[in-house]
Amino acid sequence: MKPVLALVGRPNVGKSTLFNRITKSRDAIVADFAGLTRDRHYGNAKQGRIEFIVIDTGGFEPTAESGIYMEMAKQTRQAVAEADVVVFVVDARGGLSAQDHDIAKYLRKLGKPTVLAANKAEGMTEGIQFSEFYELGLGEIHPVSAAHGQGVRSLVEEAFATLDLPEPEEEAEAEDTGIVKLAVAGRPNVGKSTLINTWLGEERLVAFDLPGTTRDAISVPFEREGQKFELIDTAGLRRKGKVFEAIEKFSVVKTLQAIESANVVLLLLDATQGVTDQDAHIAGYILESGRAVVLAVNKWDAVDDYQRQQVQRQIETRLAFLKFAPLHFISAIKRQGLGPVWTAIAQAYRSAMAKMSTPVLTRLLLEAVQFQQPKRSGMFRPKLRYAHQGGMNPPVIVIHGNSLEHVTDAYKRFLEGRFRKEFNLVGTPLRIEMKTSR
């Protein structure tokens, strides 16, 4: 599971600027997907070999007793409770406020690993200028400038140094074990536990033992029609004896962690509710994670034709960025439409793990170029020379050649379409990277 870092502090100290700075490298991947709604409060980040989740908690007023501030305080507390380490951000220019003291008191009592960041410190000299922040009783002060990117790397390093993290594995290459790690994701009440219990009650399903998994871990290995699956710890659910129960508190962090540990995510929607913001956010995380995805609209039994059309339209517009995902309409309660979902999950897994050899990729590339040349850009015409596979789950195709920075997005989509068709890739994103040699 990825560790979680939470940014806490009063409004305007620069948390969201810092959040953007820390998560920046990932943004590029998803920047050009139309219709992608991102929840700006949660993001993935990577520094060195540590991959982690960052939460921006918004403004925190620990003493707020009513209204929106109390709601925010509640959410901040949940985020802090789920975090492995807290970065408490104060304003180096504005100095200390009563609110900072309140937050510090809360954090001290909590006893979570906490590092103190004095933001907006560009151009300030270390030493006496920051001494007042020692009053907070949270130890060393880390001057940073989120806006200018100064001190941010060492801040993150420092934050993780407080944790006893296991040495991260060598750039964990996705591995085709033949066992589909499956996460069922979705907001509360879409029917996750109903579906899982219906599935686990199926006669066709045979449990098997997976070495290394403990009994209490929420991970259920089973086999269905010759295909092995491992249902991994699914956000918002708890196993109680033989059945799954929905737990009250929905946790974005657990959802993110479940998505990250899966090969395939089944994203469940509720036909009676349509596509909500929260659905779109979860879908955005899945896209960003690169996992394979199957969409299922549940409670199909409970809607009429008009509502059905509406849901379909909403999926086309609001989840346009998941066009590659197969879509199924099901009823977990009435056990309708479930068979094809299994097939789609197994196919998405095979697509995510597809092996594509360099000669075949290169032949396809050259055929595609012959069919349609990339556009000339000023003096340059991109020259695409050969391609090889750079990863699995998601499959990555690396194209080598010259002036590749001038290849348009439209042309990349054209290539993607050709590769998808040839390798029959369904339900997985496909990443195409360009490597120009000079």
Binding-site residues, in ranges, read 9-16, 56-60, 119-122, 186-193, 233-237, 298-301
| By CB under 6 A, residue 17 contacts ligand GDP | yes
- Total number of residues that touch ligand GDP (CB under 6 A): 32
50 φ/ψ angles, rounded to the nearest 5 degrees: -90, 120
Strand-strand pairing, 50-56 and 4-8: parallel
| By CB under 6 A, residue 320 contacts ligand GDP | no
| By CB under 6 A, residue 186 contacts ligand GDP | yes
Residue 382 to residue 281: CA distance in whole angstroms: 36
Q: Which stretch binds ligand GDP (CB under 6 A): 66-74, 185-193, 204-212, 315-323?
A: 185-193
Among 1, 12, 154, 372, binds ligand GDP (CB under 6 A): 12
Closer by beta carbon to ligand GDP, 263 or else 298: 298
Residue 205 forms beta bridges with which residues? 224
Residue 284 to residue 39: CA distance in whole angstroms: 8
Number of Cβ within a 10 Å radius of residue 350: 19
Residue 336 to residue 333: CA distance in whole angstroms: 8
> Pick from 195, 229, 226, 237: which is nearest to 336 by CA?
195
Q: Is the dihedral of CA 406, 392, 348, 272 positive or negative?
A: negative
Please state the closest distance from residue 101 (CB atom) to ligand GDP, in A: 17
| By CB under 6 A, residue 61 contacts ligand GDP | no
Please measure the distance between the N-terminal and C-terminal CA atoms of the chain and give it in whole angstroms.
39
Please state the closest distance from residue 247 (CB atom) to ligand GDP, in A: 9
Residues 113-132 contacting ligand GDP, CB under 6 A: 119-120, 122
The annotation places the binding site for GTP at 9-16, 56-60, 119-122, 186-193, 233-237, 298-301
Among 2, 16, 112, 422, binds ligand GDP (CB under 6 A): 16
Please state the closest distance from residue 58 (CB atom) to ligand GDP, in A: 7
Closer by beta carbon to ligand GDP, 192 or else 406: 192
Cα–Cα distance list, 194 to 24, 68, 358 (Å): 38, 33, 44
| By CB under 6 A, residue 14 contacts ligand GDP | yes
Number of Cβ within a 10 Å radius of residue 191: 22
| By CB under 6 A, residue 147 contacts ligand GDP | yes
Closer by beta carbon to ligand GDP, 312 or else 408: 312
Closer by beta carbon to ligand GDP, 339 or else 390: 339
Residue 190 to residue 320: CA distance in whole angstroms: 20
Residue 288 to residue 28: CA distance in whole angstroms: 10
Among 4, 6, 8, 13, binds ligand GDP (CB under 6 A): 13
| By CB under 6 A, residue 23 contacts ligand GDP | no
Residue 142 forms beta bridges with which residues? 117
Please state the closest distance from residue 297 (CB atom) to ligand GDP, in A: 10
Closer by beta carbon to ligand GDP, 77 or else 420: 77
Please state the closest distance from residue 182 (CB atom) to ligand GDP, in A: 15
Residue 270 to residue 282: CA distance in whole angstroms: 14
Residues 210-249 contacting ligand GDP, CB under 6 A: 246
| β strands within 75-214, DSSP E | 85-91, 114-119, 141-143, 179-185, 205-207
Compose the 265-304 pattern: x for residues touching ligand GDP by CB under 6 A, - for all others: ---------------------------------xx-xx--
Q: In what order do the strands lie in the sheet with 141-143?
A: 42-47, 50-56, 4-8, 85-91, 114-119, 141-143
| By CB under 6 A, residue 426 contacts ligand GDP | no
Binding site for ligand GDP (CB under 6 A): 9, 11-17, 59, 119-120, 122, 145-148, 186, 188-194, 246, 298-299, 301-302, 331-333
